Chains A and B, each alone.
Chain A
Amino acid sequence: MSLNETLPLLVLVSSLLPGLIIFTLPEERRGLRNLFNMVGATLKLLLIFYILRGVMLGEEYIFRHTILPGLDLVFKADALAMLFVTLSAALWFLTTLYAIGYMEGSPHRSRFFGFFSLCVTATMGVAMAGNLFTFFVFYELLTLSTYPLVVHRGTEQAMRAGQVYLSYTLGGGALLLIGTVWLYGLAGQVEFTQGGMLAALGPEYTGQLQVIFFLLIAGLGVKAALVPLHGWLPLAMVAPAPVSALLHAVAVVKAGAFGIVRVVYDVYGVEFAQSLHLLMPLAVMASVTIIWGSLCALFQDDLKRRLAYSTISQVSYIALGVAIFGPMATIGGMVHLVHQGIMKITLFFCAGNYAETLGIHKISEMDGVGRRMPWTTAAFTIGAFGMIGLPPLAGFISKWYLGLGALEAQMPWVIAVLLASSLLNAAYFLPVLYRVWFQPRTEAWPGEHIPMQNGRETAWLLLVPPLVTAVATVLVGLFAASAMSPLNWVKLIADREYLYWLP
């Protein structure tokens, strides 16, 4: 096996192996467990940097293993895969650091970190899947490996959330399976290829292909939390904060959104999907989700619930970008995959810090917290501004390209959706910001677990990750034009996607 074949496997192994070892470690081997975690996360990042360099130079990284005749497991590190891989691996690194601090002293940490690593392995598989079958395999693995994390606390509420989570995701998985089997029956191995591979099928298959598209999107839409398939996400916020970060930014909803990108661009091909009239319904569904999620967020007092509804709304920007025909919108949607991840993880880290440090779970308890925890609150503020789309932060870049794309595709109503969404974002984030910075504190904190020490507002491990992602939120926006920015990487992908089709 050549190096280029082995590298995608190594990316998987770098979290799978530490995960399996961690399962066997006794609870009290804290140092060893952290060592395995961090070595795995670091190795993965190094591997990814190496592959990124190679992809830019035009190297191909493909691993293929035949399971049954005519059924291959394929990992391919192409440009789109690397977009998701890099995002997940970088955020996983930070989330692991954060989780080590967050889970300090709580029970069953070996189990927690074991499944944490499995979950990231599954995400890497989703990202690097080279055909629809492989994608499905890891998509289901992701469901299985996140369930123990969602129910980790073992409370009645957590069990309930876990049950709802499973019902939604396994149901979605079943639809995805039917769609996949059907498509394999029609077209043989459905490899992800730029520009899609279904256009070759004759017009007599149009009806079937439309139904399959619906099945696939419904299956993916569950994880991407498209309305009305979003019900599990707000419930799942009972899980510990690092798990929320995983669900909302690193893995789960991203896997759904990423799958939609793959299906539209690399299975159907955007031109072919457009010719089958599939993009418009998707755009409408995404728009409804954007507005509905924001509206629901307005009425939540629980901070994590508000953030969860905000995720529902924001992730659909990705689907919207995919559904608008034209390179500009593609860029906007795909870059939001990265931008939303960075911004939302910042917000969830901060929410976790408030809860862990001061016992704050509700927005109504947040008065004056900015003075007690200035750094955390600053990071929260950047994340919130980014979500609203304030220039030059990350969220602005996404919205800008989405808007341009909508104009280009002559869909002015999308602009209205974007504007309304931004207004709603402001409506549910600005009051929080007003409370934390300007309202005076009149009563004691609900439960101060970590006291102020030498001017340090909370534990280092809890503070550093949100600061890093907050800085990243600023940097990816500010330096969007530089060669190494996510935006530029996405432009590369969009160029290839549309060059293939447009003369």
Chain B
Amino acid sequence: MFDPIPWLILSPLIWATLAFVHGPGQGGRLPVAGLILQLALAAMLAQQIVAGGVRVYAVGGWGAPLGIDLMADGLSAVMLLLTQTVALPLVFYARAYFAGHANSLRYFWPLTGYLLAAMNALFLSADVFNIYVTLELLGLAAVGLVALAGGAGPITAAMRYLLAALLGSGAYLLGVALLYGVYGSVSLAALIPLIAADAPAVVSLAAALMLLGLMLKTALFPFHIWLPPAHGGAPAPVSALLSALVIKASFYLILRLWFDLFEPITSVAAAQLLGALGAAAILWGSFLALRQTHLKMLVAYSTVAQIGYLFLLFPLATGVSAEVAASAWQGGVLQVVAHGLAKAAMFAAVGAMIIATGRDEISGIAGVAARLPLTLFTFALAGVTIMGLPPSGGFAAKWLLLGAAQASGQWWWIVVMVVGGLLSAAYIFKVLRQAFLPVEETANFKLLPRMLEWPVLLLALASLVLGLGGGEVLSLLGAT
């Protein structure tokens, strides 16, 4: 049987290196071909998992504890599919976006390739040390992408981002070292049965360090300060990749650690704390988004807020009945997927508006409704998911989370989610409203190439369709 697992990592590595060698002129075609292949591989892997359960792959034939194991379950498959689905349209978009900027392109393709390779490897890793390696690679590639635009602002943002990323992975590595000291293993499969409720205090310390490091990388409130300048200052295709995917990678690890590795030592109080930080992120992030005057900063703060919803999953799934926990877990993962699709679409749409109008303030987009109806429509569709209104994927996710909150009697999270939804409607309609304002006939709008509009629309539509077909994702997620 052909095994897609190693190729999911090798493919982006190969095309990234080739793109680097070939230079910006030819480089664009390889990523397209590579990503189409990767999407097919991810779909194939998902099918295998649905049919046969968890898949393990021993690199070079040497299994754990000596060699490196790669592992894929339903959650990994969902994340892999999401990554390739988001990246493929963005590659088309990026080709049009960077047209004529050979210098940016020279680094964009290789860095994006390494970023995707690191991310795919992260979703397939089966031991905490490998995870560290992929995490570090991912961070470095992402920092490089942020610095791509050059200039004082982006470089400062990139340096801050680098600092946060290094600090995060440093804390994580410290936790890994502590775990290794106690149990003498880094393999998840070996560690999971060893960690019990009566684990020594140092294990709790390790858990806290690892989770804190990852929270920093996920930009959970109050560690979100590095995110808006980095995501808001980068070129639009980069912002889309970072906001949609990169922060989800560290969130994915938090899920793994919390529900698989440290499950016996988690407590309701810690879960409530995570939830409280999430709630603060929702409210504070939305509030700040509402106050932004620049398009990309608004979208970046919206990401800060949306991350908050992900963390509501922990109080809703810890210390409650299995049924409620399952519903919360499904809602959380669905939110990851829905937000990934919608936020990529939103950043890309905003990038297109900025190119067309030549201005990046919100006040500069008057008349977009008349001149760029397709891009505005895309933004609005993505907005429907962000607001959590039906029939979008964001709504399905919110429905599950609300249901879990209701069933476990934690009504305060319901209030947070509903208020957050209304706040997000406020900042999204702030943009839409501006776009509907009339503009003088003479206003100069640059004509957009099709590739800056249509692939993005597909992403936004995907986030919408997820609301009607979310059951498919959940059945993949539940495959064991």
Which A residues are within 8 Å of any B CB, using their own CB?
Answer: 23, 65-69, 71, 73, 107-108, 111, 136-137, 140-141, 144, 147-148, 151, 154, 159, 162-163, 166, 170-171, 173-174, 177-178, 181-182, 184-185
Contact, CB under 8 Å: B436 / A154: yes
Q: Is B319 engaged at the interface, CB distance under 8 Å to the other chain? A: no
Contacts beyond the supplied A23-B373, A177-B402: 12 A-B pairs with Cβ under 8 Å: A67-B468, A67-B469, A68-B399, A68-B474, A108-B369, A111-B369, A136-B390, A141-B390, A151-B433, A154-B437, A185-B406, A185-B407
Contact, CB under 8 Å: B389 / A144: yes
Instruction: Give 13 A-B contacts (CB < 8 Å), ordered by A residue.
Output: A67-B396, A67-B468, A73-B468, A141-B390, A151-B433, A151-B436, A154-B437, A159-B437, A166-B425, A170-B422, A171-B422, A178-B402, A182-B406
With A111-B373, A140-B389, A141-B391 in contact, do A68 and B400 touch (Cβ < 8 Å)? Answer: yes
Shortest distance from the beta carbon of A130 to any chain B beta carbon, whole Å: 15
Residues of B with C-beta under 8 A to A136: 390
Q: Is B33 engaged at the interface, CB distance under 8 Å to the other chain? A: no
Binary A-proximity of B175-211 (CB < 8 A = 1, otherwise 0): 0000000000000000000000000000000000000
Contact, CB under 8 Å: B467 / A67: yes
Residues of B with C-beta under 8 A to A144: 384, 389
Residues of A with C-beta under 8 A to B233: none
Contact, CB under 8 Å: B399 / A181: yes
Shortest distance from the beta carbon of B236 to any chain A beta carbon, whole Å: 25
Contact, CB under 8 Å: A163 / B433: yes
Contact, CB under 8 Å: B390 / A68: no
Residues of B with C-beta under 8 A to A182: 406
Binary A-proximity of B66-110 (CB < 8 A = 1, otherwise 0): 000000000000000000000000000000000000000000000
Binary A-proximity of B352-379 (CB < 8 A = 1, otherwise 0): 0000000000000000011001000100
Q: Is B222 engaged at the interface, CB distance under 8 Å to the other chain? A: no
Residues of B with C-beta under 8 A to A65: 468
Candidate in B330, B406, B438 with the most chain A CB atoms within 10 angstroms: B406
Q: How far does the alpha carbon of A440 sit from the alpha carbon of B429 in the complex, in Å?
A: 48
Q: Is B414 engaged at the interface, CB distance under 8 Å to the other chain? A: yes
Residues of A with C-beta under 8 A to B34: none
Residues of B with C-beta under 8 A to A137: 390-391, 395
Candidate in B425, B437, B470 with the most chain A CB atoms within 10 angstroms: B425
Q: Is B418 engaged at the interface, CB distance under 8 Å to the other chain? A: yes
Q: How far does the alpha carbon of A68 sit from the alpha carbon of B422 in the complex, in Å?
A: 24
Residues of A with C-beta under 8 A to B369: 108, 111
Shortest distance from the beta carbon of B415 to any chain A beta carbon, whole Å: 9
Q: Is B449 engaged at the interface, CB distance under 8 Å to the other chain? A: no
Residues of B with C-beta under 8 A to A23: 373, 377
Residues of A with C-beta under 8 A to B53: none
Beta-carbon contacts under 8 Å, B230-256 to A: none
The 7 closest A-B pairs by CB, nearest first: A137-B390, A185-B406, A181-B402, A154-B438, A174-B418, A140-B389, A170-B425
Beta-carbon contacts under 8 Å, B381-401 to A: 384, 389-391, 395-396, 399-400
Q: How far does the alpha carbon of A170 sit from the alpha carbon of B424 in the complex, in Å?
A: 11
Residues of B with C-beta under 8 A to A184: 403
Shortest distance from the beta carbon of A145 to any chain B beta carbon, whole Å: 11
Shortest distance from the beta carbon of A148 to any chain B beta carbon, whole Å: 7
Q: Which residue of B lies closest to A174 (CB)?
A: B418
Residues of A with C-beta under 8 A to B399: 68, 71, 181
With A68-B400, A182-B406 in contact, do A159 and B436 touch (Cβ < 8 Å)? Answer: yes
Q: How far does the alpha carbon of A178 sit from the alpha carbon of B384 in the complex, in Å?
A: 18
Q: Which residue of A lies closest to B425 (CB)?
A: A170
Q: Is B421 engaged at the interface, CB distance under 8 Å to the other chain? A: yes
Which B residues are within 8 Å of any A CB, using their own CB?
Answer: 330, 369-370, 373, 377, 384, 389-391, 395-396, 399-400, 402-403, 406-407, 414, 418, 421-422, 425, 429, 433, 436-438, 467-471, 474
Q: Which residue of B lies closest to A108 (CB)?
A: B370
Residues of A with C-beta under 8 A to B470: 67-68
Q: Which residue of B lies closest to A153 (CB)?
A: B438
Residues of B with C-beta under 8 A to A141: 390-391
Shortest distance from the beta carbon of A218 to any chain B beta carbon, whole Å: 13
Q: How far does the alpha carbon of A437 sit from the alpha carbon of B422 in the complex, in Å?
A: 49
Q: How far does the alpha carbon of A66 sit from the alpha carbon of B370 in the complex, in Å?
A: 37
Residues of A with C-beta under 8 A to B469: 67
Contact, CB under 8 Å: A68 / B396: yes
Q: How far does the alpha carbon of A136 sit from the alpha carbon of B422 in the complex, in Å?
A: 16
Q: How far does the alpha carbon of A166 sit from the alpha carbon of B438 in the complex, in Å?
A: 20
Shortest distance from the beta carbon of B325 to any chain A beta carbon, whole Å: 15
Shortest distance from the beta carbon of B271 to any chain A beta carbon, whole Å: 20
With A154-B438, A159-B436, A170-B422 in contact, do A140 and B403 touch (Cβ < 8 Å)? Answer: no
Shortest distance from the beta carbon of B403 to any chain A beta carbon, whole Å: 6
Contact, CB under 8 Å: B429 / A174: no
Candidate in B400, B403, B414 with the most chain A CB atoms within 10 angstroms: B403
Q: How far does the alpha carbon of A147 sit from the alpha carbon of B373 in the complex, in Å?
A: 15
Q: How far does the alpha carbon of A69 sit from the alpha carbon of B396 in the complex, in Å?
A: 11
Q: How far does the alpha carbon of A107 sit from the alpha carbon of B469 in the complex, in Å?
A: 37
Residues of A with C-beta under 8 A to B406: 181-182, 185
Q: Which residue of B lies closest to A66 (CB)?
A: B471
Shortest distance from the beta carbon of B216 to any chain A beta carbon, whole Å: 32
Shortest distance from the beta carbon of A301 to any chain B beta carbon, whole Å: 28
Contact pick for A181, options B330, B403, B422, B425, CB 8 Å = B403
Q: How far does the alpha carbon of A459 sit from the alpha carbon of B279 in the complex, in Å?
A: 57
Shortest distance from the beta carbon of B21 to any chain A beta carbon, whole Å: 42
Shortest distance from the beta carbon of A387 to any chain B beta carbon, whole Å: 34
Q: How far does the alpha carbon of A148 sit from the alpha carbon of B383 in the complex, in Å?
A: 15
Shortest distance from the beta carbon of B388 to any chain A beta carbon, whole Å: 9
Contact, CB under 8 Å: A162 / B468: no
Q: How far does the alpha carbon of A464 sit from the alpha carbon of B23 in the complex, in Å?
A: 67
With A111-B373, A151-B433, A154-B436 in contact, do A174 and B421 touch (Cβ < 8 Å)? Answer: yes
Q: Which residue of A lies closest to B373 (CB)?
A: A111
Contact, CB under 8 Å: B471 / A68: yes
Residues of B with C-beta under 8 A to A108: 369-370
Candidate in A67, A137, A159, A162 with the most chain B CB atoms within 10 angstroms: A67
Residues of A with C-beta under 8 A to B384: 144
Q: How far does the alpha carbon of A107 sit from the alpha carbon of B369 in the complex, in Å?
A: 12
Q: How far does the alpha carbon of A66 sit from the alpha carbon of B422 in the complex, in Å?
A: 27
Q: How far does the alpha carbon of A154 sit from the alpha carbon of B474 in the complex, in Å?
A: 42
Residues of A with C-beta under 8 A to B407: 185
Q: How far does the alpha carbon of A154 sit from the alpha carbon of B471 in the complex, in Å?
A: 40
Shortest distance from the beta carbon of A29 to any chain B beta carbon, whole Å: 15
Residues of A with C-beta under 8 A to B418: 174, 177-178
Shortest distance from the beta carbon of A312 to any chain B beta carbon, whole Å: 24
Shortest distance from the beta carbon of A339 to any chain B beta carbon, whole Å: 31
Q: Which residue of A lies closest to B474 (CB)?
A: A68
Q: Which residue of B lies closest to A159 (CB)?
A: B433
Residues of A with C-beta under 8 A to B429: 147, 163, 166
Q: How far does the alpha carbon of A24 sit from the alpha carbon of B438 in the complex, in Å?
A: 21
Shortest distance from the beta carbon of A386 to any chain B beta carbon, whole Å: 36
Q: How far does the alpha carbon of A389 sit from the alpha carbon of B377 in the complex, in Å?
A: 45
Q: Which residue of B lies closest to A136 (CB)?
A: B390
Shortest distance from the beta carbon of A401 to any chain B beta carbon, whole Å: 36
Shortest distance from the beta carbon of A374 to any chain B beta carbon, whole Å: 37
Q: How far does the alpha carbon of A163 sit from the alpha carbon of B433 in the complex, in Å?
A: 8
Q: Which residue of B lies closest to A185 (CB)?
A: B406
Q: Which residue of B lies closest to A171 (CB)?
A: B422
Q: How far does the alpha carbon of A147 sit from the alpha carbon of B428 in the complex, in Å?
A: 13
Shortest distance from the beta carbon of A188 to any chain B beta carbon, whole Å: 11
Q: How far does the alpha carbon of A173 sit from the alpha carbon of B387 in the complex, in Å?
A: 12
Q: How far does the alpha carbon of A178 sit from the alpha carbon of B403 in the complex, in Å?
A: 9
Q: How far does the alpha carbon of A147 sit from the alpha carbon of B384 in the complex, in Å?
A: 13
Q: How far does the alpha carbon of A308 sit from the alpha carbon of B389 in the complex, in Å?
A: 28
Q: How far does the alpha carbon of A185 sit from the alpha carbon of B410 in the complex, in Å?
A: 13
Q: Which residue of B lies closest to A184 (CB)?
A: B403
Q: Which residue of A lies closest to B366 (CB)?
A: A154
